[in-house]
Each structure stands twice: as structure tokens, then as C-alpha cells.
Structure 1
Amino acid sequence: MRLDPGLSRTDALRRMSEALAAHGLPARDARFLLLDLLGLSATDLILRGHRPLGPEGAATLEGAVARRVAGEPVARIVGAWEFWGLPFGLAPETLVPRADTETLVEAALALHPDRGRPLRVLDLGTGSGCILVALLSELPNATGIGLDRSHAALVQARANAVRNGVGTRAAFVCADWTAGLGGAFDLIVSNPPYIARDTIRGLDIEVRGHDPMAALDGGPDGLGAYRSVVEALSVGPVRLAPGGALAFEVGYDQAEAVGMLGTQAGLGPAVRHHDLAGHARVVRFGPV
């Protein structure tokens, strides 16, 4: 697809939408790309949509459409995405925040109707920090630690915490699950890698080609990370505080298996929370 520098923004949006639709991609992706990459608001497009793209704008949008047609997600192209109504920058080492993961935030917040309590939160495999930052944004007196094996992911998570106004209440640690940590936490959350290794090659190109493999690969059966976390919590030194809870995001068919892992480790009965599609998306242990 070629865009003439003299083309108006409005006409460029139409051309981009048509090009994406010809490849079976949603027209709304064109709008996301044009607004974000040209630094425009929706109002700008309405009031100043007649203005020409110019050479730089045309080249930028041509490249973006080519990347989208090749299977790169919009979030990767613009380098950011929204989660829980908050903006999050992305790095190659972080997952794109997904709407399903908001179920984990909802489940955790439902345990604490008194949002003013001074809770200690631990986010295992924090990635972009979206879960921890979302929780701290709703719990003004809580503090939290985000842990990840990727230093680059933690740099991005720290930037996201600062950007969203919770940087003074969040710390980030580079470690493998709970290694090097100790103490009791009121809330432990995790969206770990949970894709069975042999099925990754069958995932959509937007995932297998652009999400970090370390954030996808859950081992031979997809349950490796859950076993590691459950075992660590059952022997310490990281533990749940009295009345505390552990909440996992799980794959659409993993709730029973993850629930059994936690129950057998003595974490108590498992409670399931469902996403908007009706899948058991979160498994929680405690409080009773």
C-alpha cells in the first residue's frame, strides 16, 4: 500500500482501512495506528482531518500497515496498550496486556472491599507490571513487589508504575519466582507462562511471532510455573499472611488442574472466577 504525502488524514484512514480489510484485519486497527503514530486525538481527526500527511507521516503509516499485514499486533507497532483504563508501555520482553487478565484484578479487589487497608502485594512474573500497577491504583495504601526473570521487563514495569502514579509504592526484583524473597503477603497474584510447549507452534502469528517465548512456555503440560509457585509458598520463606490470598490466571482448560495443585499443597480449597466468555480464568486460594 502506498500513501501519497499530499493525501489527507481522513483519506489516508480510508485507504489504510481498505488495505487491512483486504487481508481480513479489522478496520479499527487503521484508526488506532493513524491516531497513535501521528500523535492525534479523535477530535484532531474530526477538526483537522483535511490536513495532508506529509512525507514523514505517509512513510510512517505505510510501514505500520505493512507490519500489521505481516501479523504484528497493533500494540507492538505503537509500543503501548491500555489495561484497566491505564496506559502501559511495552517492551519486547513483556506480554501485551489482555482484557482476560482484568479478571484477575477484579478477583483480587473483590477480596478487599475496604480499599484503604495497608496491604502487601506480590506479583510473580510481573512483565509490564500491569497487574500490580492496576491493583496499586485501586488500593491507595497498598505497597507491592513485582518480580520477573527479565531485567528488561522490569525496567519497563518500573516506567509504567511511575507513569501511572504508583512508583513510590512499587518495588521490582529480578529473580526466578520467589527466589531471594521472604515475608508474608496479603495478596499474591500471578499470570505465569501457561501454554503447553508443544502447542506454541500452533498459536496465532500475533502471539507466537511477537510475544516473548519465556512468557508463553509453561513446560510440557503448561503447569510448570504453577508447580514452582505452589511449592515455594508451601515451604517458605515467602508465605501468605493470615487471611491472605493467592490468585492465578489460568488457561481456559486449566482451572481444575491448578486447583488440585494448590489444594494438595495445603493452600486450601480453590475458588474459580470466570471471564466474560464464561471460562474459568482465575483460580484463587484463601481466604476461607
Structure 2
Amino acid sequence: MTRFVKRKRHCCGLRAFSKDLQTLISQLQAAGIDNPRRELTLLIAFLQNRSYTDVFFEPAISGEDFDRLVPLVQRRCNNEPLSKIIGQREFWSLPFKVTADTLDPRPDSETLIQAVLEHFPDHDIPLTIIDFGTGTGCLFLSLLSEYPNSLGVGVDISDAALAVAQQNAGRLGLDQRASFIKGNWAEGMQGTFDVLISNPPYIGLNDLLEDSVKQYDPHQALYAGEDGLAAYRALLPQLPALMHPYSLAFLEIGLGQGDTVRWVAKQAGLVFLATYPDLSGIERVVVFGKSGPGH
């Protein structure tokens, strides 16, 4: 078991603790944490409610803060995501609150934002947007930040996740254009929307996951039946009723799921329009229109 260093409480600069801090950095490195010095700086910034840049250029830590830092480093060494420890994750250059009740926003999901921007290049257009399985609200709220004349609704079955999304909307100054509704996908929804988005759970029950994901992200937001496709089978048939002829639906998908998702969408009366890879070249987002005039 890893031993963590503690020191007597007294105020001093970072350099006075340099040996002990280096020990913490070494422990993070031994636990397989990438860029451990950066992560330690982020933890100190969190403890002191300072920016990363301030801590990096003007480091100062008290003995009391050091004692509080040690258990946080231990949690990180136990593979708990940094975002879950500090309660925040950046997405689309925006800060989002995260909790144990929400899936961590991931860079691959930014592919969906890029896809919407490509199809709707006019940022002044007044879009109506609906996000199914909104979680933290990162997709929905990032789009609202890009389209200042747009508004919409985030849907989730989890009360706890909806509370987090509502807080994120308020923190980002988007709460006047964002509504949140508890719902099971699109059941009971009415009206039509210009943009329909979703990053549903798409992990199969027997698929392998990293411990940091399996242990700390909510399983309801990860798993979707034996093959990971249950959410698409439930959601896609519900979408045409919420689409007008020029609506577009953007869905994130998992590795190797594109063909099956396209088939399910076709059976639901949707027309496949485009696909977008993530930074690793993996097909990540598929775009559909409603069959008939307009597509």
C-alpha cells in the first residue's frame, strides 16, 4: 500500500515543501497518472480556490492545505477521476460541474458540437434544440453558447443529473434560454425542434471499461443492454414526431455501432445524411434528417 506523507502545520512557500510535493508527484506517476505535476497543481488550485495559472506562477501552500492535499492525491492514485475530485470538467472550453450522478464530459463528444456547427454555420440563427439524456448539459449548453439566439430543453430521467445541468446553465448565464425536463427519452414530448441531439449510453453489458469509468461514472449513463444499442432502439423511433422537414438529429455512437444505428434509424423513417469521426478517426457522430420533403 502506498504511504502518503504528512507534515506539521505551518505556513510556508511551496519550495519548503518541495521534497514532500515531489513525493506526491512520484506517487501519482507510479499510479499511472499522466502529467502528475500538472494534476498536483490543479489539486492545489482547487484547494485554494485559485486559478491554475496563479498557482503555477505564484505557488504558496500552508501546512493545513498540505494535510488536506494528501487525501486528494490518494483518491487520484486510487484512479478516481480528477474531475470527480474537484467537481468540474472542461468541455468546449467551458467549465461544467460534474458529480457522481453525471457522466464526465469527454473530448470525443465535442465532435457532435462540430457537426452541428458545420450544418448550421450561421451563429445568429434562432434554433430550437432538444437534448436527450442531457446529463451535465454539456452538449446542449455548449450549443446555446455558440448560438446566442437559440433556446431549447434538456431531457433526462435522473433528477440528480437534471439538478446539475440546471446549475451549469445558471453558472454559464444560459438559464434564461435553457429548460430541463424529467423524461424517458422522447416519451410524451410535443412540438418540433430544429436540432435534436443525444449522447445516449452505448456500452454493452459485457464490454470492458477502465476502472476509472466503471467505478465513478453512473452505470445508467453507460450501459444500454447486452449489445449497447438499447437506447438507440428506444429513442430513434420517437424522433420523427419531433422533427419538421428541415430538422436534423445528431447522435453520438460507440465503436462499430454505425451500421446498426443507421439501420434502426431507417426503420424509424429517418434519412442518414453524414458521419463524423473523432480525433482518433473513429466514427463518433451520425446525422439524420426526416424522410420526405426537405431531405
TM-score by length of 2: 0.90
Matching of residue 159 in structure 1 with residue 177 in structure 2: no
Matching of residue 68 in structure 1 with residue 71 in structure 2: no
Does the 8 Å contact 1:105/1:135 carry over to 2? yes
1:1-288 → structure 2 map (5 Å cutoff): 1-4=4-7, 5-6=9-10, 8-10=13-15, 11=18, 13-26=21-34, 27=36, 28-49=38-59, 51-55=60-64, 57-199=65-207, 202-234=208-240, 236=241, 239-286=242-289, 288=295
Does the 8 Å contact 1:186/1:240 carry over to 2? yes
Deviating 4+ runs (over 6 angstroms): none
- Superposed CA deviations along residues 84-133 of structure 1, whole A, max 9, x for unmatched, are 01010112211111000000111112111111111110000000000000
Farther-moved stretch of structure 1 (14-23 vs 95-104): 14-23
User: What is the alpha-carbon distance in structure 2 between the residues aligned to residue 91 and residue 175 of structure 1?
Assistant: 20
Letter in 1 for 2:79: G
Does the 8 Å contact 1:118/1:143 carry over to 2? yes
Does the 8 Å contact 1:230/1:265 carry over to 2? yes
Using the aligned pairs only, state the percent identity.
Answer: 38
- Root-mean-square deviation (Å): 1.6
The alpha carbon displacement at 1:269 in A equals 2.2
Name the SS for the 2:196 alignment partner.
strand
User: What is the alpha-carbon distance in structure 1 between the residues aligned to residue 218 and residue 61 of structure 2?
Assistant: 37
Name the SS for the 2:176 alignment partner.
helix
User: What is the alpha-carbon distance in structure 2 between the residues aligned to residue 39 and residue 2 of structure 1?
Assistant: 23
User: What is the alpha-carbon distance in structure 1 between the residues aligned to residue 265 and residue 172 of structure 2?
Assistant: 33
Size of the aligned set, in residue pairs, is 281
The alpha carbon displacement at 1:46 in A equals 4.5
User: What is the alpha-carbon distance in structure 2 between the residues aligned to residue 231 and residue 53 of structure 1?
Assistant: 58
Structure 1 gaps of 5+ residues are none
- Superposed CA deviations along residues 27-55 of structure 1, whole A, max 9, x for unmatched, are 13222222222222344334532x34222
User: What is the alpha-carbon distance in structure 2 between the residues aligned to residue 216 and residue 43 of structure 1?
Assistant: 34
User: What is the alpha-carbon distance in structure 1 between the residues aligned to residue 85 and residue 270 of structure 2?
Assistant: 41
Classify 1:9/1:38 alpha carbon distance in 2 versus 1 (closer, same or farther; 3 Å): farther
Letter in 1 for 2:62: L
Classify 1:23/1:120 alpha carbon distance in 2 versus 1 (closer, same or farther; 3 Å): same
The alpha carbon displacement at 1:208 in A equals 0.4
Does the 8 Å contact 1:35/1:42 carry over to 2? yes
Does the 8 Å contact 1:13/1:34 carry over to 2? no
Does the 8 Å contact 2:41/2:55 carry over to 1? no
User: What is the alpha-carbon distance in structure 1 between the residues aligned to residue 6 and residue 172 of structure 2?
Assistant: 36
